[in-house]
């Protein structure tokens, strides 16, 4: 059970990272990834960019639910909640 939740958390992190890269690529206006991340941090919208990256977690969650892998879906959900809390705290400070 713990192994399945850990796998779901890992998939959630990977999906979020891929989503962040895709969001930075599409919204970056042709700049490379590191430049977009640095300018997003400087202009104060890095939290929004991270939140956009978490959209891919939705797809991973529903794939695990459809396959009846509930514990893996629970891991993806835990990572999504962690990212939401992280984004909230990052926005405050």
Q: What is the DSSP letter of 30?
A: T
What are the structural domain ranges in the chain?
A: 2-92
Read off φ and ψ for residue 71, nearest 5 degrees: -70, -35
As given in the structure block, the two tokens for residue 48 are: 């929004």
Read off φ and ψ for residue 73, nearest 5 degrees: -65, -35
**Furthest-apart CA pair in the chain: how many Å?**
43
User: Residue 91: what pLDDT?
Assistant: 82
Query: What pLDDT tens digit does each residue of the chain (93 aa) get?
Result: 999 999 999 999 999 999 999 999 888 877 888 899 999 888 888 888 888 889 999 999 999 999 999 999 999 999 999 999 998 988 887
User: Residue 15: what pLDDT?
Assistant: 96
């Amino acid at each position: 059970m713990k192994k399945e939740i850990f796998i779901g958390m890992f998939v959630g992190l990977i999906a979020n990272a891929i989503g962040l890269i895709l969001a930075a690529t599409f919204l970056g206006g042709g700049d490379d990834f590191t430049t977009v991340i640095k300018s997003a941090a400087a202009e104060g919208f890095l939290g929004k960019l991270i939140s956009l990256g978490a959209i891919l977690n939705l797809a991973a969650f529903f794939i695990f639910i459809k396959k009846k892998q509930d514990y893996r879906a629970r891991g993806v959900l835990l990572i999504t909640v962690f990212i939401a809390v992280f984004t909230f705290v990052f926005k405050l400070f």
